């Protein structure tokens, strides 16, 4: 199985300031069809995970444009341009290039 | 509205069985692959099983292989997870999750159902 490793595991951020989360995979996430199936999920306290970003950089329906994704191969980044109070929660990267889907261990975003 | 509603979670003793159900609505269930993903409280996410649209491809995590069985009834728009020989380490919140079409991934999550295995 592909192992996903996130950093940092905890990120205290000031409201209005940017935040960045890294994710590294144990092998390339480039699929044989040429796509890279790396997603980012947000889990707010007491809620199920919610899809934010798919295929590295595509925002899912209803996701604010302050969220952006980038990267290639084995290294990926989620950025929040200006953190808002509602962004508090745990963020997971997830790969679906190879079955089974696997997740990073999560990064807890908290407000300073 | 696309919805996934899980049920069947309970408190059971080690060695007992449970059957989880996931009722899907708001989309054409038979055209989507489905997953069961579990989360130990305060911990991360693990996909325990997946099934393709017609049930011809099924996969299990090593930790549940031989004990859990995933199935689906497309006529009833329902996904199932039969859990036998439950262990303390199976204690978790179990989510029903929809696979995507057009690109590989998952997009819709249910609220989850809690399974607690304890003596």
Pick the closest to residue B57 from B85, B35, B75 (CA basis): B35
Residues in chain B with pLDDT < 50?
Answer: none
C-alpha distance from B97 to closest chain A C-alpha (Å): 10
Q: Does B75 touch chain A (CB under 8 A)?
A: no
Cβ-defined contact of B47 to A35 (cutoff 8 Å): no
Which residues of chain A neighbour B100 with C-beta distances below 8 Å? 54, 96
CA distances from B14 to A50, B9, B69 (A): 32, 14, 17
Cβ-defined contact of B106 to A94 (cutoff 8 Å): yes
Burial of A77 (0-12, 13-18, 19+ CB in 10 A): middle
Which residues of chain B neighbour A60 with C-beta distances below 8 Å? 107
Nearest-angstrom CA–CA distance, B8 and B82? 10
Reading chain A (112 residues) residue by residue, the pLDDT tens digits are: 999 999 999 999 999 999 999 999 999 999 999 999 999 999 999 999 999 999 999 999 999 999 999 999 999 999 999 999 999 999 999 999 999 999 999 999 999 9
pLDDT at B102: 81
Check: CB of residue A38 under 8 Å from CB of residue A23: yes
């Amino acid at each position: 199985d592909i192992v996903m490793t996130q950093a940092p595991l905890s990120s205290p951020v000031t409201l209005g300031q940017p935040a960045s989360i890294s994710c590294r995979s144990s092998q390339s996430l480039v699929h044989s069809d040429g796509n890279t199936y790396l997603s980012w999920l947000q889990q707010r306290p007491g809620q199920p995970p919610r899809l934010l970003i798919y295929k590295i950089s595509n925002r899912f329906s209803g996701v604010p444009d302050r969220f952006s994704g980038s990267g290639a191969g084995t290294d990926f980044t989620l950025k929040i341009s200006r953190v808002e109070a509602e962004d508090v929660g745990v963020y997971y990267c997830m790969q679906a290039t190879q079955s089974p889907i696997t997740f990073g261990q999560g990064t807890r975003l908290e407000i300073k | 509205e696309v919805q996934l509603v899980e049920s069947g979670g309970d408190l059971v003793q080690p060695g007992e069985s449970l059957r989880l159900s996931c009722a899907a609505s708001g989309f054409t269930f038979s055209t989507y692959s489905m997953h069961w993903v579990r989360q130990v409280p305060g911990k991360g996410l693990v996909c325990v099983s997946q099934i393709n649209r017609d049930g011809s491809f099924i996969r299990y995590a090593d930790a549940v292989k031989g004990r859990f069985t995933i199935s689906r009834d497309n006529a009833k728009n329902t996904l199932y997870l039969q859990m036998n020989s439950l262990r303390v380490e199976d204690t978790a919140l179990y989510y029903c999750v929809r696979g995507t079409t057009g690109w590989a991934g998952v997009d819709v999550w249910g609220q989850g159902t809690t399974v607690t295995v304890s003596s």
